[in-house]
Amino acid sequence: MPMDSSFHEAFLDELRDLYNAEKQITKALPKMAKAASAAPLADAFETHLRETNEQIRRLEQIFKDLDESSGKKKCKGIEGILDEGKDMMSEDVDEATMDASLIAAAQRVEHYEIAAYGTVVAWAKAMGHDQAARLLQKTLDEEKATDEKLTSLADGGINDIAAGGTGEKQVAAVSNRGSRAKRSTKAGAAR
């Protein structure tokens, strides 16, 4: 089946957008992990950073397999979402509210990625790029799992604590890593 070159170019444009998005996300995740006070949330960000680095490698493999470059495209969608997250992290709120807000910001990123990866998986299949489709599907599955993990953390106690609730559910689900202020002070001293 002959490939429509404009469709192929649109596919490459989407891949380049995702490649840049993932690069931007690798810079944001360590800051989010540092800002989190709940250990499971910080761990989730650190785990997803490792996954994101692997997702970048998969995209690089796809570009190599297609004999294309990753280009210099800037993902303005993720840039805007991450800027909103950065603004949120500068707010002066209690630790539980910060954790709930971090989850909200991270889920905005995940939902953007789920939509984008869902599209490129479908497009890769339509063009017969079977290996690319498999690699992209693996990333899509990881993004969905991360979103589910974040929902689980929010529903498992973080949102209740932020709302002022107390109880065994929250205590069992969320263990604090210590004061965010202490970590911020240490980070400031390191600059």
Give residue-wise pLDDT tens across range 70-118.
999 999 999 999 999 999 999 999 999 999 999 999 999 999 999 999 9
Task: Please check whether residue 83 is in contact with residue 27, taking contact to mean a CB–CB distance below 8 angstroms.
Answer: no
Quick one: pLDDT band at residue 4, thresholds 50, 70, 90? low
Consecutive H or E run containing 174 = none
Kindly state whether residue 50 falls inside one of the protein's structural domains. Answer: yes
Using alpha carbons, select from 64, 63, 73 the residue that is nearest to residue 13: 73
The pLDDT tens digits for 10-51 are 999 999 999 999 999 999 999 999 999 999 999 999 999 999
Kindly state whether residue 187 falls inside one of the protein's structural domains. Answer: no
Judge whether residue 136 has pLDDT over 70: yes
DSSP character string of 20-77: HHHHHHHHHHHHHHHH--BHHHHHHHHHHHHHHHHHHHHHHHHHHHTT--------HH
What does the alpha-carbon distance between residue 140 and residue 184 come to, in Å, rounded to a whole number? 33
Neighbours of 86 (CB within 10 A): 13
CATH number of the domain bearing residue 71: 1.20.1260.10
Full domain range(s) for residue 132: 5-182
Residue in the structure block whose two tokens are 């996954």: 51
User: What is the DSSP code (8-state) at residue 129?
Assistant: -
Total domains in the fold of the chain: 1
Bridge partners of 176, per DSSP, are: 38
What does the alpha-carbon distance between residue 174 and residue 156 come to, in Å, rounded to a whole number? 8
Assigned token pair, 94: 């209690």
Residue 3, pLDDT score: 55
Kindly state whether residue 190 falls inside one of the protein's structural domains. Answer: no
- The pTM score is 0.84
Kindly state whether residue 162 falls inside one of the protein's structural domains. Answer: yes
Using alpha carbons, select from 168, 180, 163, 29 the residue that is nearest to residue 91: 180
User: What is the DSSP code (8-state) at residue 119?
Assistant: H
Kindly state whether residue 188 falls inside one of the protein's structural domains. Answer: no
Q: Residue 127: CB partners within 8 Å, gap ≥ 6?
A: 3, 7, 8, 11
